[in-house]
Amino acid sequence: GESVGLHLPTLSVQEGDNSIINCAYSNSASDYFIWYKQESGKGPQFIIDIRSNMDKRQGQRVTVLLNKTVKHLSLQIAATQPGDSAVYFCAELVGGSYIPTFGRGTSLIVHP
């Protein structure tokens, strides 16, 4: 079946830098996307979501961009902090079934 994938398995940044985590999806029927943060020993934690009728959504220090033309999703974290170190997953959901499909994840390492 179609799946969600991430371009970079590991991203290392310095504290204070901006981070960008990318995600490619291939199911054109997906109409809802979620970014999750998973810290070691914990379950995934909701960060931000976006519906397919939007191309940008902002939260506190985070922004999600959606490019449906190239089926690409990104998560931007401003002023990255050591507490942002975690694995980040994007998940796509198709309306009607709402079964989330997760990508492999990107490990974000923030150096103080």
- Contact call for residue 100 and other proteins (CB under 8 A): yes
* Contact yes or no for 15/108 (Cβ under 8 A): no
Smallest gap, in angstroms, from Cβ of residue 50 to other proteins? 11
- Contact call for residue 112 and other proteins (CB under 8 A): no
CA-to-CA distance for 111 and 71, rounded, in angstroms? 31
Binding part of the chain for other proteins, among 13-21, 60-68, 78-86, 99-107 by CB under 8 A, reads 99-107
DSSP letter assigned to residue 43: -
Task: Draw the binding track, 28-67, toward other proteins (x: CB under 8 A; -: no contact).
Answer: ----x-x------xxxxxx--x------------------
Closer residue to other proteins, CB minimum distance, 6 or 77: 6
Smallest gap, in angstroms, from Cβ of residue 28 to other proteins? 19
